[in-house]
Amino acid sequence: MKIKFLTIVLSLLAFQSVMAQQTEIKEANPADVASIDQIMRAVYEVISGDAGQKRDWDRFRSLFHKDARMIPSGKNPTTGVLGARALSPEDYVKRNESFFEKEGFHEREIARRTDVYGNIAQVFSTYAAYKKADDKQPFMRGINSFQLLNDGKRWWVVTIYWQAETPENPLPKEYLKSKKN
């Protein structure tokens, strides 16, 4: 019985070690995380690309705090129920990697409202999304709500919580102009 228990424990530890290696995050490029402007630019750059263009998911992962969450929100088109779903950055990669390789997706910040207190920042980032880099009209707009943390060395994305614009919920004019508080 002791041998069986020991075998199970050792197997679990080996599995845990393998999983830890698979989710090891590379260190961020200091140019991506030195300021709010830089980390915001890096997030939009890393998820954007033409159809067939692979994203740099290691760079993406390096921007996020270890406990970060990405939370899309909106109305379920089938049920009409409003809701939100929390994902880890890794869940986001798994959910979107193949789509982004097949479909072009370029998200650009069009306005920003930033509030900073101590080592935390709240950034309302109005975005427009395009299928190709040279598209003139976006296929979608909305607001990304970023919560950022500066640990004294760099900025981290803690949360991105977003909602796309809908006919029933157009973007307010005040969120189409940048403002820093």
Integer CA distances (angstroms), 138 to 10, 104, 107, 121, 134, in order: 53, 12, 9, 28, 10
The larger pLDDT score, comparing residue 16 to residue 45, is at: 45
The whole domain housing 161 covers 29-180
> What pTM, to 2 d.p., does this model score?
0.83
pLDDT digits (tens, 9 = 90+) for 27-82: 999 999 999 999 999 999 999 999 999 999 999 999 999 999 999 999 888 998 99
Per-residue pLDDT at 179: 80
Residue 10 has pLDDT above 50, yes or no: no
The reply to whether 125 falls in a domain is yes
Longest dimension (CA), the chain: 69
The reply to whether 20 falls in a domain is no
The reply to whether 120 falls in a domain is yes
Residue 153 has pLDDT above 50, yes or no: yes
The reply to whether 8 falls in a domain is no
